[in-house]
A = this chain, B = another copy of it.
Amino acid sequence: MEYQEAKDKFISTWGSLGTLWGINKAMAQIQSLLFISTKALSMEEIMEELKISRGNTSMNLRQLMDWGIVTKELIPGERKEFFTTEKDVQELARHIAKERSRREIKPVIKILKEVSSIKDDGTEKTKELIKQTKALYDLAETADAMMNKIVNQEQNWITKSLLKLIK
């Protein structure tokens, strides 16, 4: 496999994975492109490379910046803006996990808490609703806390101990 084929394969795979995780294709592809680029890219270069429109590029770059994984870089003497993504995978994972927790998991946990706190009127169906949503609440809380803990630790400590556990 040559460079170009490998590059295209990577970008399209990452793009389709993004879709499954609630991130749209263009957004995931722009991030992939930046991730393997050796230099910051301009909007023009991104459009050209991925064959997407100016508007699409602009909107998705903004979203990536909102997620905190892409940053503008001003190059002296250049009028246009250049973009780079976080290059360290650990840091990237940390950002993504943090955002997903904030945007998706936390709001669900809040609803689960509300639902599991309704007053028990003694009927079987109410008892079941309370019991099951309480169990989900506990699971979601634990999973969320665990994810944040893992993702916020210093790389080596956690990787080492987990690798020990796994192996």
Q: Which A residues lie at the B interface, using CB under 8 A?
A: 1-3, 6-7, 9-10, 13-14, 17, 19-22, 35-38, 87, 89-90, 93, 104, 108, 111-112, 114-115, 118, 121, 123-126, 128-129, 132-133, 135-136, 138-139, 142-143, 145-146, 149-150, 159, 162-163, 165-166
Give the chain B neighbours of A138 by CB distance below 8 A.
89
CA distance A150 to B10 in the complex (A): 29
CB-nearest residue of chain B to A37: B128
A149 touches B123 (CB 8 A): no
B21 touches A129 (CB 8 A): no
Q: Bound state CA distance, A90 and B132, in angstroms?
A: 12
Contacts of A112 in B (CB 8 A): 10, 13
- Complex interface: chain B residues within 8 A of A149 (CB): 162, 165-166
Q: How far is the CB of A69 from chain B (nearest CB, A)?
A: 13
CA A136 to CA B92, docked complex, whole Å: 10
* Inter-chain pairs besides A1-B115, A20-B104, 17 sampled, C-beta below 8 Å: A3-B121, A3-B125, A3-B126, A6-B114, A7-B129, A9-B114, A9-B115, A13-B112, A36-B128, A36-B132, A89-B132, A89-B135, A93-B139, A93-B143, A146-B150, A146-B162, A149-B166
**Known contacts being A13-B108, A142-B163, is A6 close to B115, with CB within 8 Å?**
yes
Chain B neighbourhood of A21, CB < 8 A = 20-22
A145 vs B165: C-alpha distance when bound (angstroms): 10
Tell me the complex Cα distance, A38–B7, Å.
52
The reply to whether B162 and A9 form a contact with Cβ atoms under 8 Å apart is no
Cross-chain contact of A123 among B3, B93, B124, B129 (Cβ < 8 A): B3
